[in-house]
Amino acid sequence: MRAWVWMTVLAGFGCADKVIEVEEEDDYRSATDADGGTQDGGCEDDTECMDWQICEAAACVVGDRNNSFSEAEPIESGDAGVSAYINTPGDKDFWRYTSMGSEFIRVAIDPHDAVAEGAPKPDTFVTLYDPSGAVVTSADDYPNGARVSNFDSVLYAYLAAAGDYVFVVEDANPMFGNEAWGGEDYTYRLELGGWSWVTVGESSYDEPLLLGNDRTTGIPLSTNTWNSVGVLLEEEGQVDYLAIQFSNENLDGDGATWTDGILFVDGIEDLSGSDATPSVAVIGPDDLPVAQRTDVGPEGPIVAPALRTGEWILELSDAEGGGGPNHWFVVMLNADTADDNMDWESEPNNSTEVGNAIEMTESINTSGRPFSVGSVQGFVDAPGDTDFFTASAPAEASGENADGEQAQWVVLCMNSARWGSSIAPSIMVYGGDGAILAEADADPMGSPNLTIENIEIEPGEMISIQVNPGSETNGTPDEWYRLKTFIASFPVSSYADGGYTCP
């Protein structure tokens, strides 16, 4: 049955009304009851319901049909993907992909459409299970934990064996203490495809793998873009070498340069389904190592903090020297210019008299209390080199201590070995009168490598900071550190409690 709807449209000229006739389909859910209200017209199958509903007991209800491994719906690689809903709070959607094995894949979930005002923010979490039901990997946001603007969640994985793999998509909000939700506003689109940037074939330091567009210079890096490469170590003891290229031609802006820029090499946080322990070394254009560390991805990135143009090499291996059909990981490359890097020390600064002044930026915390923060990074410029810095904050940016006197509180945090440096310097802090206020040795395995918390000083007092890498240093490019200094009008919460961040 069709209903006729009369519509009145104001004409474009004059003041006449024009009446037109419009055909409209009956809504099967909107039959009129005896009291003139609407009632559910019933349904025979899911196709008669809205996209976020299913037909149950002849009525359309919120839900879907892929809520378990046995109900997983098929998805193909390389097609247009699937659009779906987190239908209800706690809903999990199961998608099945049949793989021939021996392939790297990527799954990406598009950003969400606008949601109703007041609705929670959509945030998906994806988990991949292998044919035996074991977790291969999972991802919230980008696989390394970073956020990217063009996707909600992205997952990379190597599927070693043939069989049915299952992707489970769910709401990430309750995982982080937020309210779980679902409904017609919680949409997502999942796309699955193969990933071709992989370390296939033999390579050596002199003949590294070249994955750039022209296949001649290595991966050409630009800023603010993640470049992901799958690494498969099929033979025991295998080492893959990958070339990356820093050319100023790849930068936007007049006069832009890579000099003193920074390279991040990250990886997948969740490598549950891999037998590899990723080990990465970064080697500069002068053939000298700049950084080296293991567990890249699960334990964070490796950093090369002082870029320059030319070809750089990544040395990729298993930390235990292993290899085999399931020894895989993914490296993710990103870089910034000096504008987005920390300031470097300036020599000579080997005594308190010539210490570099750390540029401090005044700020206010969420409670309205002032503090100042500044960062610097340094090299061991020669064997046994030690560096001095000075820092202070405005005297009026102070608070009351336990004795009712005005004071300020200093916090220092340093990383070096954590991001791939070969050193772990100690720190000594001097007051304005030259007295030692605090000192600490770094923990090469720590995260962060060193912290000194809440040194109480006089308002406006100038402190001196000595960074001592030790006498066994060589002045090589892999001997560097990154230091952050806070001077606050209040005692700062500990790093473990989230009171501050480290560089």
pLDDT at 2: 31
The verdict on residue 501 lying in a domain is no
Last residue of a domain, one of 308, 337, 366: 337
pLDDT at 14: 32
Same domain, 19 and 122: no
Same domain, 297 and 394: no
Tens digits of per-residue pLDDT, 91-120?
Answer: 999 999 999 999 999 999 987 767 777 777
Strands 387-391, 356-357: pairing is parallel
Mean predicted confidence (pLDDT) in 255-268: 93
Name the residue range of residue 329's domain. 219-337
pLDDT at 375: 98
Tens digits of per-residue pLDDT, 314-352?
Answer: 999 999 999 999 999 999 999 999 999 999 999 999 999
The verdict on residue 495 lying in a domain is no
Same domain, 413 and 451: yes
d(Cα 222, Cα 198) in Å, to the nearest integer? 19
Mean predicted confidence (pLDDT) in 292-307: 96
Answer yes or no: is pLDDT of 25 > 90. Answer: no
The verdict on residue 79 lying in a domain is yes
Same domain, 328 and 379: no
32 or 288, greater pLDDT:
288
pLDDT at 199: 94
* Spatial contact of 289 and 332, defined as CB atoms under 8 Å apart: no
* Spatial contact of 471 and 457, defined as CB atoms under 8 Å apart: no
The verdict on residue 245 lying in a domain is yes
Same domain, 240 and 156: no
Phi (first) and psi of residue 426, to 5 degrees? -95, 165
Confidence of residue 215 (pLDDT cuts 50, 70, 90): low
Phi (first) and psi of residue 350, to 5 degrees? -100, 20
Same domain, 180 and 261: no
The verdict on residue 322 lying in a domain is yes
The verdict on residue 462 lying in a domain is yes
Q: pTM for the full model?
A: 0.86
Percent of all residues in the chain with a pLDDT value above 70, rounded to a whole number: 90
Same domain, 56 and 74: no
pLDDT at 224: 85
Answer yes or no: is pLDDT of 370 > 50. Answer: yes
The verdict on residue 263 lying in a domain is yes
Same domain, 371 and 246: no
Answer yes or no: is pLDDT of 382 > 60. Answer: yes
How many Å is the Cα radius of gyration of the chain?
A: 29
Same domain, 101 and 174: yes
Q: How many domains does the chain have?
A: 4
Answer yes or no: is pLDDT of 31 > 70. Answer: no
The full DSSP string for 313-349 is: EEEEEETTS--STT-EEEEEEEEE-GGGSPPBP-S--
Confidence of residue 275 (pLDDT cuts 50, 70, 90): very high
Q: Looking at residue 407, which CATH number applies to its domain?
A: 2.60.120.380
Tens digits of per-residue pLDDT, 155-214?
Answer: 999 999 999 999 999 999 999 888 898 888 888 999 999 999 999 889 999 999 998 655
The verdict on residue 364 lying in a domain is yes
Confidence of residue 152 (pLDDT cuts 50, 70, 90): confident
Percent of all residues in the chain with a pLDDT value above 90, rounded to a whole number: 76
* Spatial contact of 325 and 338, defined as CB atoms under 8 Å apart: no
* Spatial contact of 163 and 130, defined as CB atoms under 8 Å apart: yes
pLDDT at 21: 33
Same domain, 314 and 359: no
Same domain, 276 and 363: no
Last residue of a domain, one of 337, 367, 390: 337
Same domain, 367 and 307: no
pLDDT at 41: 61
Answer yes or no: is pLDDT of 495 > 70. Answer: yes
Using the Cα atoms of residue 338, residue 339, residue 345 and residue 346 in order, give the sign of their dihedral. positive
Query: Cβ of 237: how many Cβ atoms within 10 Å?
Result: 11
Last residue of a domain, one of 62, 88, 104: 62
